[in-house]
Structure 1
């Protein structure tokens, strides 16, 4: 259960994420956990990592005012030989409006909320990332059938005339 977020033309998640919980699938021993932790520690935006071996989660806190890149977190977990089962995060919004289609943009970050429309977010919000490789494969397939969004399958879409990374969230 970890982070929530987005990327734009590159792979930068520019929203202010204070902490996240990352559930990792496939961990069978403390050596597996250590390999994942070591891989994650190489990311410069992570302040601390606290593993919970009983639940196969890592509680991550992030350096203040650093950009958090969700795709890099996913890549580091996969590089260690595992997959993300769930990623939840606390995202600090500042008067961010979600339009009637569920889209919200803050800086270069674009989110599509699957369960929130026409509202303003302000302050810390707990969110789950629903994109491919951030949830289980069966959950992703179920969401594809239910959401019927082109951007959900690819993680990309056109926003204000630009091809952009869109991170899909549930709050």
Structure 2
């Protein structure tokens, strides 16, 4: 009986912070021509969790659709853009959330990854929502400076768990994605 209770609790906790990211909007910096766009597009399409990529040459933007049931990796998206010779100017991700409670300057685990919410009001994410990645490798330096000023936690500067995160049970030096809504 005790084993069944523990299994039931573990199952319920597993569903508490669930979200499935279905797409991302990525704006690249440094593009000057259609060949630049093609290089990024080709690099993104090679990622195993990417279903397809729609390109808007005028805005240097890429709408990336993820394969259903896949675990999107934002660092791999960034690395694919950098491998093509460019940088990420902005990255937002859209997902279907199921009762994910978030507050300003708190850590939440979603889909096995750690997220630190910045500059938001307390809310529950339900249904389709878009989050904006606020780490310095995912936005311009001016925007990052403004967002990072909203917290005194040191993890925002490195993207790695620091003393501010380990008190929440996150392993030291684990990846922390800083996000806003």
Q: After TM superposition, is the score higher than 0.5?
A: yes
Which of residues 29, 34, 42 is equivalent to 1:38? 42
Does the aligned pair in 2 maintain the 1:92–1:124 contact within 8 Å? yes
- 2:82 pairs with one of 75, 78, 81: 78
Per mean C-alpha deviation after superposition, the further-off stretch among 84-93 and 100-109 is 100-109
Shift of 1:153: 0.4
TM-aligned CA deviation for residue 141 of structure 1: 2.9
- Aligned partners of 1:35, 1:59: CA distance in 2, in Å? 15
The whole-number CA distance in structure 1 between the counterparts of 2:109 and 2:60 is 32
Is the strand fraction higher in 1 or 2? 1
Structure with max Cα Rg: 2
* TM-align CA RMSD: 1.8
Residues 9-28 of structure 1 mapped to structure 2, 5 A cutoff: 15-28=19-32
Structure 1 distance, partners of 2:158, 2:36, is 30
**What number of residue pairs does the alignment pair up?**
158
SS in structure 1 at match of 2:28: strand
Deviation at 1:166, TM superposition (A): 1.2
User: Unaligned regions of 5+ residues in structure 1, if any?
Assistant: 1-13
Q: Which has the higher contact order (CA 8 A, sep 6+)?
A: 1
Counterpart check, 1:95 vs 2:105:
no
**How far 1:119 moved relative to its partner?**
2.8
Alpha-carbon contact 2:98-2:126 (below 8 Å) kept: yes
Higher helix share: 2
Residue 126 of structure 1 corresponds to 130
Structure 2: where are the runs of 5+ without partners?
A: 1-17
Asked whether 1:143 is paired with 2:143, we answer no
